[in-house]
Amino acid sequence: MPIPLPKSLTEANTNGQNGNAANGGNVDERAFAGQQAEKVLPAAKEASNDFIKGETNAFIQSIKEAQQLGERKQDTMVDAAVLAKLEEGYAKLAASDSKSLLKKYLTKEVFDNLKNKVTPTFKSTLLDVIQSGLENHDSGVGIYAPDAEAYTVFADLFDPIIEDYHGGFKKTDKHPASTFGDVSTFGNVDPTNEYVISTRVRCGRSMQGYPFNPCLTEAQYKEMEGKVSSTLSGLEGELKGKFYPLTGMEKAVQQQLIDDHFLFKEGDRFLQAANACRFWPSGRGIYHNDAKTFLVWCNEEDHLRIISMQQGGDLGQIYKRLVTAVNEIEKRVPFSHDDRLGFLTFCPTNLGTTIRASVHIKVPKLASNKAKLEEVAAKYNLQVRGTRGEHTEAEGGVYDISNKRRMGLTEFEAVKEMYDGITELIKLEKSL
């Protein structure tokens, strides 16, 4: 590349050439040209230096950009060991008789498209998303979101699973605004106390500014626990109670919480495989009110599980208590929310309203005809579980039955599905 010359030098050179051409290049003209050259040589030298300096800086900048590109590429590369584990796990899942939604929707094409992707902030991989389902072929779903960005980066897998589980919530759909409705609408589903043993309504919440369990540090766990404890200590009236950290918990307190069926244990094998139990029991805790009808779990599966419950079937009273509590807590702790998916949670089955309204109900006649029970449950979008919840058996004909859908409908509508479904089940049980 030629070095650009200052205008004065170019003019001097041109003048000299013109003079030589017209007059044969006499001595005076050559002398004049030499004098002009001496005047502009310093400027030419400076221009040359500036040009070289500029080219050098540009070269150095290009090297820096290449290094940064390499670093970014390295940040977005999936480790060879992770890829090998993914390939091995996928092969075993594909060859299994698993009925999980993970197996149903993780086609070879989707797998190959996602296996090299990572989330921008926390560098979570496809393995972080599906490892629980790879290790537990008896999973119903089989995936978790290690961080909020996973729902976008691995959308090719999450979207069809969300649509399947939540009753047709498509990737083009948008979850409606949070609406608890008229809390006085619901009454007692079993006023004679013949069938419903207890009723519970809970919701999950994630705290704004924090990732989900697999990406949390121990310091973040402890920081969150501190915020939750101070927030809940400010509750008054029916919600007033005490926070109990799991770390350093006294044996007498522990036993009482076990007796009350309040104490959550370290996660089951499904959560363990999803890396949801790191640094246990740091940052975990339980809060309950004096009447033991309101409960908050801190950093169990989700950042917060807010629970309202009591014996019998008075859904209206229980729902009203939950709504009051959620509104009070949200005044102090901002919740993580997405315009399309609603409230964000670790497990995609809890997205949207995150509401799960359930009863422990004894229906011995329907229990002897499980097909009929499942038929009615499906009609009202209900989920039937064993007495002690997911992955357990019914004991003495007692089932845990709840609404299944949490997305594409409001909180009020989600609870109403359970209310209508349980009312129908009791009616059917009476008729048999």
Q: Which of 269, 390, 392, 395 is catalytic?
A: 390
328 — phi, psi (to 5°)?
-70, -45
402 known ligand binder = no
Which residues contact residue 288 at a Cβ distance below 8 angstroms, ignoring those fewer than 6 apart? Answer: 241, 242, 260, 262, 294, 295, 296
Query: For this structure, is 345 an active site residue?
Result: no
199 known ligand binder = yes
Other beta carbons within 10 angstroms of residue 105's beta carbon come to 19
Query: For this structure, is 301 an active site residue?
Result: yes
Q: Which of 149, 215, 231, 305 is catalytic?
A: 305
Q: Which of 149, 202, 321, 405 is catalytic?
A: 202
305 known ligand binder = yes
Query: For this structure, is 88 an active site residue?
Result: no
261 known ligand binder = yes
- How far is Cα 379 from Cα 403, in angstroms, rounded to an integer? 11
- What would you report as the CA-atom Rg of the chain, rounded to the nearest whole angstrom? 34
Query: For this structure, is 332 an active site residue?
Result: no
Q: Which of 205, 284, 321, 356 is catalytic?
A: 356
Query: For this structure, is 305 an active site residue?
Result: yes
332 known ligand binder = no
Query: For this structure, is 347 an active site residue?
Result: yes
Q: Are 368 and 230 in contact (CB under 8 A)?
A: no
137 known ligand binder = no
139 — phi, psi (to 5°)?
-65, 150
Bridge partners of 402, per DSSP, are 358, 383
Q: Which of 203, 215, 277, 347 is catalytic?
A: 347
Query: For this structure, is 30 an active site residue?
Result: no
Q: Which of 349, 353, 354, 410 is catalytic?
A: 349
Query: For this structure, is 356 an active site residue?
Result: yes
175 known ligand binder = no
54 known ligand binder = no
Amino acid letter, residue 44? A
Q: Which of 223, 278, 330, 385 is catalytic?
A: 385
Q: Which of 149, 225, 301, 411 is catalytic?
A: 301
360 known ligand binder = yes
30 known ligand binder = no
Q: How many residues does the chain have?
A: 432
DSSP-derived pairing of the beta strands 337-338 and 304-311: unpaired
358 known ligand binder = yes
Nearest by Cα to 409 from 146, 118, 242, 173: 173
- How far is Cα 320 from Cα 292, in angstroms, rounded to an integer? 16
303 known ligand binder = no
202 known ligand binder = yes
Binding site: residue ranges? 198-202, 261, 305, 356-360, 385-390
Binding site for ATP: residue ranges? 198-202, 261, 305, 356-360, 385-390
Q: Which positions are catalytic?
A: 202, 301, 305, 347, 349, 356, 385, 390
